[in-house]
Amino acid sequence: MTPIDYLQFVLAPQVVNGLALGVAVVLVALGLTIIFGMLDVINMSHGEFYAIGAYAALALAAAGIGFWFLLVLVPVLMVPLGMAAERLLIRPVFDSKDRHVTTLLVTFGLGLIVEDVLKIIFGANTQRPPTPIPGATEILGIILPNYRLFLILIGAAIVLAVAYVVYRTRLGAMVRAAAFDRNMAASLGVPVSLVYAGTFAFGVGLAGLAGVLLAPIYSVFPTMGRDFILLAFTVVIVGGMGSIWGAVVAGLLLTQVQALASLVISPVWTDPIVFGTMVAFLMFRPQGLFGRLGHA
Amino acid sequence: MTSGTIKTLIGSLLAVTALSGSALAQSGPIKIGVVTPLSGTYTPIGQQVRWGLELAAKEVNAAGGIAGRQVSLVFEDEEANPSVAVQKAEKLFQVEKVDFLTGTVNSGSTLAVAQLAERNGKLAATTVSFADSITTDKCSPNMFRVNARAEQQSVALAAWLAKEKPKARVFYLGPDYEMGRSTVAAFKSSAEKSGAQTGGEVFAPLDSKDYTQYFGQIRATRPQVVYTSVAGNDTVRLLTQLQDFGLLSGLTVVGASGTVTSQNITAIGAAAEGFATGVGYSPQIESPENKKFVAAFREANKTDPDLYGADSYGLLFAYKAAVEKAGSTETDKVREALRGLTWQTPQGAKSIRAGDHQAMQPMYVVRVNKGKFDIIDNVPAENAIGPDACARF
Amino acid sequence: MHDRLTQSMRASHLLALLFVLVSIGLAAMGAATGDTFYLRLGTEALIFAGLALSVDLLLGYSGALSLGQALYFGIGAYVSALTLMKVPSFWLAMGAALAATLVAAIIGGLIANRVRGVYFALITFGLAQVMAKVVYNTRELGASDGMIGIPVIEIGLGPFSVSAANPAGFFLLVLAFIMGLYALTAYLLDTPFGRVLTALKANERRVPFLGYSVWQARMAAYVLAGLIAGLSGALYPMLRGFVSPELMFFATSGNAVISVVLGGVGTLIGAIYGSVLLVILKSIIGSWTEHHLIVIGLLFMLCVMFLPKGLAGLVRPRIEVLLNRRTQTPPASAEPAGLSPIAVKSGSVS
């Protein structure tokens, strides 16, 4: 293989494909990091909410609803689900001493249940919606499917929109205030309990949106929630729990490390490398690259 | 006393009654234990195993049972985890007093259950695991395999490939675990013997999300053929991603028998077109037995049988033939009867080789055409089986 | 006079005694009826109870949730299996497993104890995942298939000897071993070391002012928990004759956490009852429906939310009242257990 061949066929596509995967991971991690950063809650069932979004898209598409409409409809439908989960499961244990551990355990239990329920409703076989934008584009000899190109663009748009809401709007300020000091925020007139439920539902809605967007590429099956969740947790930790920019940087960086490492060493070792990175960050910089949102 | 200990107590009492009941066992129904994954990633395969066995049991019972005794199936979920499989298998052997056991899917579970069967003095069979080791270096006198192992599949596929694309450059992509690696190795050696060249080889982790990171290596070697031994969801992703990247045109994709099956072919859709594999079964086999089987299976389960369903269905008839020949369900007698047994299945006649307990069967090469597997070639049983490499018995 | 902690531990001991008596009774019944399966299932439940015990030592006493305790269980199991295949000696296998888990737990402890709270949970999870992947990919360790062919051993106990194939004999041996681990842990928690741990859980910032090293106490608890998990794991291949990488997977760690929560966090004996309960539940529900995840997930969630001290939390206070009546001290209910709020509100993790 000539060096030019290597660059054109191997290295460059590797970077571009890694980018698409990176955007997918960031989309899943976004809701996770927001729920952690604002509520101090580890949502172990985040992957299952992602799966619910994907299945909802599949079912609604089968009922004749177009893909573009689903991008809005599914996240909106996920909001009441998120609200209910927050009210019924998170709120009752929110004030216990070990909030982290307790919420982690409760959502872990919820994840087990959701996975099984999805299997009962939709069956165990893998399903896949058709690719909404078919075809591929060739740029400088690098082939990229149009849908992945779209995913990279819409992923960037979603991140910017979420960052704008959280960092630049009055609503975002209220949420951040509630996260930083609940009592202070309440005394300033922030409806704290509504803000908490809304934030959780927002994170769940983002998971649902990720489900709609990623289903055509990664297919839909009951255990799909476990798929991205490990990588997403790693991204949240490395980026700094609660940091949106941290999740973006870490998500893109880790997937590049994975993609490029798989050229040099056996790809099976890329998973240990990613977990090793997580462990190393937890050891030496537990606040992650960007520290914590509510406390920044 | 907690409810836990009360339940253990009840359990022990049940064990007592089961024991006193064993004297009646020779005249009661014949029990067959099925330890198969009914939850988790392998659920779809476990379902086919279950449907195949249930249909066979229904037909056997309607025709008067085995040696005049009815057959009853006892299912347990093994979660595709060897430590669960062994615990459940022991329950079936010891508590349910099953006469025979089957159902394990992943090779780790099959090997662990084989050892358990030996220690319990019972017999077991697999209808799914195709890792060569089960009937070669890790063979067990108490384990039988009625499905085609990796080597049988490879021989058939390689023979067809040599005719279709002589001296093709092949790229190998397997999942990185024992079965994936041994399947690639088996096909590679068969293919190289019949003149294929090796372009490159990569092993991806099981449950990989994205296979695009290997596409560069694939394109750079410019292969005419890609061989893969991924299965289940992994195949859906691999093939649809290959299609999205426009790599499927001009490329022949071939693979293991478990790569594209009735569970994932709908999800793969058009990307599965042209995929070829060597397999012991296809619903398209033009025999009256098979047509009857497919119709009955479809009637009962609203879906086509695949190789797992068919091999599991056929197993029960092998067991029936063996028990009737032995005149007993005793382990040693049934083992002797199974060795060298020839019986009829929807796939045609199968026979169990005495030397390694591996079933010999005609092998087919099938190719996806409009969402169905068309039979495009076949290899007689003797040519596909390969040497007996079991040294233990 | 006993303080409250001793009081609640005495209630645990009473439950432990009951557990042992009932177990011996059942073993005798099982032996008399020639049962194999239930005795061996019980043995397996006890082995996993050892793993749950180690999770409870960390969660219930130093407040650290380990999501990767199966790492040490798996190391113990693999080292024991490798030893047994070379030399079929019980004591050699246990010794080798002890040494290996000691080294692993010290290394793991140095890594994990740099962080607290949820970060500790995630780091233990990550460590276990990395090691499980390494084992899964190592052909010398049987890779994804694991290793079969571990011989059935004779266990020499001075003048006696028990075969691992003898269901009742091996059950009693494992019972004695696991209850020995329980007693050892309970004893250590009653020493000043244990009091430091309890104090840590209540208020970590004050402990240094009392002259104790926080890090040393946490490290000691972590290594001890690792050893308990490793020694329990070493028994597994003796019972089942094989090991597989699934023993290190998250499902194994997760089941131990479920057992502890069902049985009662911070009670030690709850972990043992919880583990037995989980095995029975899985065995019963698993035969009845393949949707056992729903039932176990629901039970687990309800337990976390409404029964933070688990089953032991239901039973133990009543025993304490009885004990108090006898020793004529005022009734006490406070205990170090549970996920429930204690007086002090903890700060943020980082």
Question: For B230-255, what is the mean pLDDT?
Answer: 89
CA closest to B109 among chain C residues: C145
Closest to A229 measured CA to CA, from C122, B268, C258, C305? C122
C51: chain B residues, CB-CB within 8 Å: none
Note the pLDDT tens digit of each residue in A173-213: 888 888 778 788 888 888 888 888 999 999 999 999 999 99
DSSP letters spanning B277-335:
EEES--TT---HHHHHHHHHHHHHHSS---HHHHHHHHHHHHHHHHHHHHTS--HHHHH
B245: chain A residues, CB-CB within 8 Å: 136, 143-145
Q: Do B44 and A124 touch (CB under 8 A)?
A: yes
pLDDT given at position C231: 96
Question: For B154-179, what is the mean pLDDT?
Answer: 88
Question: For B120-139, what is the mean pLDDT?
Answer: 90
With pLDDT > 90 as the criterion, what percentage of chain A qualifies?
A: 34
Burial class (CB in 10 A: 0-12, 13-18, 19+), A169: exposed
**Which pair of tokens denotes residue A243?**
């940091």
**Buried/exposed code over C248-257 (b: 16+ C-beta within 10 A; e: otherwise):** bbbbbbbbbb
- For residues B75 and B47, what is the distance between their CA atoms, to the nearest angstrom? 11
Percentages of chain B per state (helix, strand, coil), in multiples of 5: 45, 20, 35
Note the pLDDT tens digit of each residue in C102-161: 999 999 999 888 887 778 888 898 889 888 888 888 888 888 888 988 988 888 887 788
* CA B301 vs CA A243, B49, C219, C222: distances in Å: 50, 12, 57, 52
Task: With cut-offs at 50, 70 and 90, classify the pLDDT of residue C98.
Answer: very high
* CA A226 vs CA A49, A105, A184: distances in Å: 11, 16, 38
pLDDT given at position B44: 84
Residues whose CB falls within 8 Å of the CB of residue C348, separated by 6 or more in sequence, listed in order: A40, A295
pLDDT given at position C260: 93
Backbone angles phi and psi of B251, in degrees to 5: -115, 135
Closest to B91 measured CA to CA, from B78, B72, B108, B105? B78
Given C59, C123, C130, which is nearest A282 (Cβ)?
C123
Residues whose CB falls within 8 Å of the CB of residue C189, separated by 6 or more in sequence, listed in order: C9, C61, C197, C198, C268
DSSP letters spanning B202-229:
EEEPTT-S--GGGHHHHHHH--SEEEE-
- For residues B378 and B284, what is the distance between their CA atoms, to the nearest angstrom? 13
With pLDDT > 70 as the criterion, what percentage of chain B qualifies?
A: 93
With a cut of 60, say whether residue B1 has pLDDT above it: no
Residues B71/B30, Cβ–Cβ less than 8 Å: yes
* CA B219 vs CA A6, A56, A102, C75, C133: distances in Å: 10, 36, 49, 42, 29
* CA B341 vs CA A62, A272, B61, B92, B353: distances in Å: 49, 48, 21, 26, 8
Question: For B83-97, what is the mean pLDDT?
Answer: 91
Q: How many CB pairs under 8 A join A and B?
A: 112
CA closest to A226 among chain B residues: B207
With a cut of 50, say whether residue B24 has pLDDT above it: no
Residues C296/B44, Cβ–Cβ less than 8 Å: no
Residues A266/B246, Cβ–Cβ less than 8 Å: no
Highest mean pLDDT pick, A256-270, B149-163, C40-54, C198-212: C40-54
Q: Do A128 and B219 touch (CB under 8 A)?
A: no
- The complex scores an ipTM of 0.85
Query: Measured between CA atoms, how close is C252 to chain A, in angstroms?
Result: 14
Residues B362/B348, Cβ–Cβ less than 8 Å: yes
Note the pLDDT tens digit of each residue in A134-148: 888 887 777 888 999
Backbone angles phi and psi of A48, in degrees to 5: -75, -30
- For residues B76 and B113, what is the distance between their CA atoms, to the nearest angstrom? 13
pLDDT given at position B34: 94
Task: With cut-offs at 50, 70 and 90, classify the pLDDT of residue C341.
Answer: very low
Given A10, A145, A267, which is nearest B205 (Cβ)?
A267
With a cut of 60, say whether residue B346 has pLDDT above it: yes
- For residues A77 and A84, what is the distance between their CA atoms, to the nearest angstrom? 12
Q: How many CB pairs under 8 A join A and C?
A: 123
A11: chain B residues, CB-CB within 8 Å: 216
Highest mean pLDDT pick, A89-98, B25-34, C22-31, C336-345: C22-31
Task: With cut-offs at 50, 70 and 90, classify the pLDDT of residue B113.
Answer: very high
Given A119, A126, A145, which is nearest B232 (Cβ)?
A126
Task: With cut-offs at 50, 70 and 90, classify the pLDDT of residue B180.
Answer: confident
pLDDT given at position C328: 56
Mean pLDDT check: name the lowest of B282-296, C37-51, C52-66, C304-318.
Answer: C304-318
Q: Do B264 and A124 touch (CB under 8 A)?
A: no
With a cut of 90, say whether residue C196 has pLDDT above it: no
Q: Is B67 left (phi over 0), alpha (psi -120 to 50) or beta?
A: left
Name the more confident of A264 and A249.
Answer: A249
Residues C313/C267, Cβ–Cβ less than 8 Å: yes
Query: Measured between CA atoms, how close is B274 to chain C, in angstroms?
Result: 31
Residues B247/A13, Cβ–Cβ less than 8 Å: no
List the chains bordering chain C where 3 or more Cβ pairs fall under 8 Å.
A, B
Q: Which amino acid is at A1?
A: M
Lookup result for tokens 């219930």? C60
Mean pLDDT check: name the lowest of B230-234, B314-318, B363-367.
Answer: B230-234
Question: For B3-8, what is the mean pLDDT?
Answer: 47
With a cut of 60, say whether residue C338 has pLDDT above it: no
159-218 in chain B: CB under 8 A from chain A: 176, 202-205, 207-210, 212-217
Given B2, B108, B133, which is nearest C146 (Cβ)?
B108
DSSP letters spanning C280-296:
HHHHHHHHH-S-HHHHH
Name the more confident of B80 and A73.
Answer: A73
CA closest to B16 among chain C residues: C33
* CA C90 vs CA B162, B290, C152, C175, C304: distances in Å: 55, 54, 10, 16, 39
